Structure 1
Amino acid sequence: MDPENGKEAVEKILNQADIRIGGHRPWDIRVNHPAFYTRILAGGSLALGESYMDGWWACDALDQFFYKVLKYELYKKIRYSKQMVVEIVKAKIANLQRKSRAFEVGRRHYDLGNDLFAIMLDKGMNYSCGYWRQADTLDDAQNAKLDLICRKVGLAPGMTVLDIGCGWGGFARYAAEKYQVNVTGITVSVEQVKRAREYCRGLPVSIALKDYRDLNGTFDRIISIGMFEHVGGKNYRTFMRVADRCLKPGGLFLLHTIGGNRSTTTCDPWISRYVFPNGMLPSARQITTAAEGLFVLEDWHSLGPDYDTTLMAWYDNFTRGWPQLSSDYGERFYRMWTYYLLCSAGSFRARDNQLWQIVFSKKGVPGGYHRPE
């Protein structure tokens, strides 16, 4: 396709979402390279992200741009790229999240640098959706989320708690300090282990570098916050069996995860290549199928719009703190990271992605489960 026909085709697609090339509204885009049009028509989502990283196009408000792209489902107007077809086939044939690859996301994402995440996140370095119902700041929203989780599972002094995907120790410290429980946390990130152990020093908290499939022991409560997105469809049932094995009779298990509106076996190819390798967003059907026969579903809480607010707070922190990071990370990383944060914010605003907190019990809570407010 010649560049002029390519431009006409892209303009036609974008016009359906009221996005203009060369317009002056925040969500309009500016094209800086003549081959941009043919590149994205041939390469889809991966090419769109890579061409932004290369400076081939710009937008004053990427979050608003992606809100419109996803709200109007413009991704359906562009055929799959060859790379996407390859990824779909790979995901159907191979277990991309098998045990031998479990630590890859730790090395490539969570070990990027604690300096980066300390600047972007709240004081407790909680890398998951906050709870903004009565919060005005990121710190307040994250503390509200942690407290909501603690209350949902009814933490009481002396309980043992398993934190699958403990991150930098935010939940472990909060639960140990505020609810006097004993927490065991696991992660696949070396840098997270270092920081979490220091952050929780002096508290009844143990942190280990471990894959969830190697877990042993039993616990009164199990928490998993923002980790299930790395498990993969071929392993959902295995994950649930591990949780079942490790949860004591009468216990509760809370799963906090991003979710998708459709059952799939792949992740967006740009996100998979540059942000979260081997990631996959579960659907409601995939979660309930994996839990069937093991758990009773007690409560399902949808908090997707709160993630939009959280991501915009992370973006503000990141851009404000960029002068402290720029010499170590470089301009291309800046464009990649801002693209990641803002396209994610747009996806939650458009309700294309969801955030769920799900409470499971083993045999059902006698008399019924009542969600705390």
Structure 2
Amino acid sequence: MDSDTSAQDPNSSNLQRNSHSGRSSAAPVIQQSSHLAGELLERAGIRINGDNPWDLQLHRPQALDEIIARHNLGLGETYMRGDWSCEALDEFFYRILRAQLQHQIKPFRNLWRITRSYLLNLQSERRAFQVGEHHYDLGNDFYQSMLDSRMTYSCGYWKDAKDLEQAQTAKLDLICRKLGLQPGMRLLDIGCGWGSLVSYAAEHYGVECTGVTVSREQKQFIDTHYASLPITVHLQDYRALDAKYDRIASVGMFEHVGRKNHRAFMEVSKRCLKPDGLLLLHTIGKNQRNTTCDPWIEKYIFPNGDLPFNGQICDAAEELLIAEDLHNFGSDYDKTLMAWHDNFERSWEKFSGKFDTTFYRMWRYYLLSCAGAFRARHIQLWQWIFSDRLEGGVRRVC
């Protein structure tokens, strides 16, 4: 864990809230009952229709039965419908996860989801473009309003940063320094997003960059905004890569690779690395091996997502690459997501004609539930450095 960052105090008074709490003002307030859902929430310090900002405000009593019956999916879908609301969803999820309420109810359908993840390759080449079409192609204007100026859609590095712009610039520079980029090198970015890393590396480190993405909107953005820089972007699956590069980075893409393809990803990386090359892998990760993606996140946000366990990453690299460094700054994702949420709320009015209220509630639920998960250290953010195992010598990482 990065010793310079720590999880944000959920009771901190500097957490910014605004008027869009997701509360349905027209819905009648329902008195708290002795329902099992209420009993479970009490264990996390959450009350139904309580006075704290993290308390659940219930607008349809039948929603409690659906939450118990359908677990995470029921919780998210009843929120999207307006059956309940919460002013501070991030703190609501922080308390749920710190109390480990997710282990109190285990629907049998989770057994099928776990089995399915082992039997089926949900991240096959045929499915590779689904997440791009569903999530990343929502519209460049939408993401521009939420992200920093370079549209960096991954965790910022807040060690010395005061705002989102500084945190994302610090993260990009940290990656470039860890990779030891020098003028004239060739950098491959697997899952290049809107070009934040390749544009920064080309401008500040004088490297020639290649990016691959499964999002047409992202490729169009890079082609338009960075035409003057030595950047080439391909709309393709990473498994088709077969050229040599001095350095490889993959930032926020490995979460879409899937456990059945972790080894293939490392084989592609080794195939594309020059003998003295380095790979930087920046990914969200989970604390347990035999688990699957949250069903609500998979259905509504990231189709076919699969967070890796650190042991799975090591297994995939075995006999191919050497792990030179591992850096965890997952608590910084809490701050990043809260900054994205603030930008989303401020910009919502101009998108309310394009997206409906259900989308608004869905997106708010996504950003704040993830912030709470990182704050609770339920999920992590890792930066790995790998080198070719056949090359000797000492690797130094800044």
State the alpha-carbon separation in 2 of the partners of residues 6 and 24 from structure 1. Answer: 16
What is the aligned partner in structure 1 of residue 129 from structure 2?
103
What is the aligned partner in structure 2 of residue 323 from structure 1?
349
Q: 1:265 to 1:13 in 2, by over 3 A?
A: closer
Give the deviation of 1:36 after TM superposition.
1.2
Q: Deviations over 1:46-89 (max 9, x none)?
A: 0000000000111110000000111111011112253x344323
Match of 2:87, as an amino acid?
D
Give the deviation of 1:137 after TM superposition.
1.2
Say whether 1:8 aligns with 2:26.
no
SS at match of 2:274: strand
Does 359-368 or 64-73 show the bigger shift? 359-368
Q: Following superposition of structure 1 onto structure 2, how do residues 42-57 of structure 1 map, counting pairs within 5 Å? A: 42-57=69-84
State the alpha-carbon separation in 2 of the partners of residues 331 and 44 from structure 1. Answer: 23
Aligned-residue Cα RMSD (Å) equals: 1.6
What is the aligned partner in structure 2 of residue 183 from structure 1?
209
| 1:244–1:362 Cα contact (<8 Å) kept | yes
State the alpha-carbon separation in 2 of the partners of residues 6 and 38 from structure 1. Answer: 12
Say whether 1:232 aligns with 2:241.
no
Say whether 1:291 aligns with 2:317.
yes
| 2:32–2:49 Cα contact (<8 Å) kept | no
Match of 2:57, as an amino acid?
R
Q: How many residues align?
A: 369
Give the deviation of 1:7 after TM superposition.
4.6
What is the aligned partner in structure 1 of residue 333 from structure 2?
307
Give the deviation of 1:43 after TM superposition.
0.4
State the alpha-carbon separation in 2 of the partners of residues 265 and 101 from structure 1. Answer: 21
What is the aligned partner in structure 2 of residue 350 from structure 1?
376
Identical counterparts, % of pairs = 52
Give the deviation of 1:245 after TM superposition.
0.3
What is the aligned partner in structure 2 of residue 37 from structure 1?
64
State the alpha-carbon separation in 2 of the partners of residues 86 and 285 from structure 1. Answer: 23
What is the aligned partner in structure 2 of residue 211 from structure 1?
237
State the alpha-carbon separation in 1 of the partners of residues 391 and 88 from structure 2. Answer: 46
State the alpha-carbon separation in 2 of the partners of residues 265 and 46 from structure 1. Answer: 16
Say whether 1:72 aligns with 2:104.
no
Q: TM-score, normalised by structure 1?
A: 0.96
Q: 1:53 to 1:81 in 2, by over 3 A?
A: farther
Give the deviation of 1:116 after TM superposition.
1.1
Say whether 1:172 aligns with 2:172.
no
| 1:172–1:200 Cα contact (<8 Å) kept | no
Q: 1:216 to 1:13 in 2, by over 3 A?
A: same
Q: Deviations over 1:1-59 (max 9, x none)?
A: xx999852112111111111111111111111010111111000000000000001111
Match of 1:335, as an amino acid?
R
State the alpha-carbon separation in 1 of the partners of residues 136 and 34 from structure 2. Answer: 38
SS at match of 1:370: coil
| 1:43–1:80 Cα contact (<8 Å) kept | yes
Match of 2:75, as an amino acid?
L
What is the aligned partner in structure 1 of residue 138 from structure 2?
112
Match of 2:77, as an amino acid?
E
Match of 1:287, as an amino acid?
I
State the alpha-carbon separation in 2 of the partners of residues 348 and 365 from structure 1. Answer: 36
Match of 1:220, as an amino acid?
D
What is the aligned partner in structure 1 of residue 54 from structure 2?
27
SS at match of 2:352: helix
State the alpha-carbon separation in 1 of the partners of residues 106 and 321 from structure 2. Answer: 40
Q: TM-score, normalised by structure 2?
A: 0.90
State the alpha-carbon separation in 2 of the partners of residues 196 and 271 from structure 1. Answer: 27
Match of 1:177, as an amino acid?
E
State the alpha-carbon separation in 1 of the partners of residues 181 and 90 from structure 2. Answer: 37
Structure 2 residue corresponding to 1:334, chosen from 360, 364, 379? 360
